[in-house]
Amino acid sequence: MKFVRNSSLLIFACLFIPVSLFAQKAERKNVREGNKLFTKEKYTESEIAYRKSLEVNPRSIEGAYNLGNALYKQKKFPEAAEQYQLIAGQAEHLLTDQKNVQRLSDVFHNLGNIGMQNKEYAKSVEAYKTALRLNPKDDETRYNLALAQKLLQNQQNQDQSGQDDQKDEKKDQENKDDQQKQDQQDQQQQQNDKKEDKTQEQPQQNEQMSQDNAQKILDAFLQDEKDTQEKVKKAQMQQQQRRKTEKEW
């Protein structure tokens, strides 16, 4: 039984080695083809070649990194960032190989660039800092970091200014609303005052009219009394004349 098992393991090993070698050759072939196309700035074609290399070996660091670069050149930034993040997720493993350390530094540098494209300056600053920790001699990353920090500061100042403007606009609107309410109250008060004035004027007019009527009635009464006295005087005079006439007779 042991002989049979050993023979089976030997046969399996013999079969696995050629398949593994074939996969590595296919991966390398697609990567090299993608590199040639990338150099000729045929980024779409190079993307296809790099994807083929990842179909053969999904854990290919070189295939994922180069695919991310091809996508970046086509301005497919979310897709490129996804490939770079896959590599960044293997950072602990990659740090054991100096060659991969440099590649990992480039990955964070490119993530910083994508953040700059999206105006996500805070993310860019953190990515560039990580890249510099991996490769302190990278002057391009150092320059990009300084630029990202400056743009981040400007962005924060603009955000603060925008918030202040919103507060001022809100305060102005509140003042405007208060003034409008005050104007409405003043207008209402004026209308109420006019109504009160009219109400007060009405009795005065009625009182004036009553006085006028009373005066007219009094004048009429006096006139009647005067007419009556004159009639009485005339009657008395006529009576006196009759008496004189009777005496003369």
Compute the distance between CA of residue 196 and CA of residue 28 in angstroms, rounded to an integer: 100
Task: Tell me the CATH architecture of domain 91-169.
Answer: Alpha Horseshoe (1.25)
Position with higher pLDDT, 15 vs 98: 98
Longest dimension (CA), the chain: 200
List pLDDT tens digits, range 196-216: 665 555 555 555 556 666 676
Domain boundaries, given as residue ranges, for the chain: 15-88, 91-169
Mean pLDDT of 48-55: 94
Nearest Cα neighbor of 111 from 126, 101, 100, 98 is 126
Task: Tell me the CATH architecture of domain 15-88.
Answer: Alpha Horseshoe (1.25)
How many angstroms separate the Cα of 236 from the Cα of each of 135, 202, 240, 242, 245? 147, 51, 6, 10, 14
Share above pLDDT 90 across residues of the chain, in percent, rounded to a whole number:
44
30-39, 161-170, 225-234, 238-247: which has the highest mean pLDDT? 30-39
Residue 248 pLDDT more than 50? no
> What's this model's pTM, rounded to 2 decimal places?
0.58
Confidence of residue 1 (pLDDT cuts 50, 70, 90): very low
How many Cβ atoms are within 10 Å of 138's Cβ, its own excluded? Answer: 18
Which tokens is 203 given?
């009795």
- Do 15-88 and 91-169 agree at the fold level? yes
Compute the distance between CA of residue 120 and CA of residue 151 in angstroms, rounded to an integer: 10
Residue 165 pLDDT more than 70? no
Which tokens is 130 given?
């990580």
Residue 5 pLDDT more than 80? no
Confidence of residue 45 (pLDDT cuts 50, 70, 90): very high
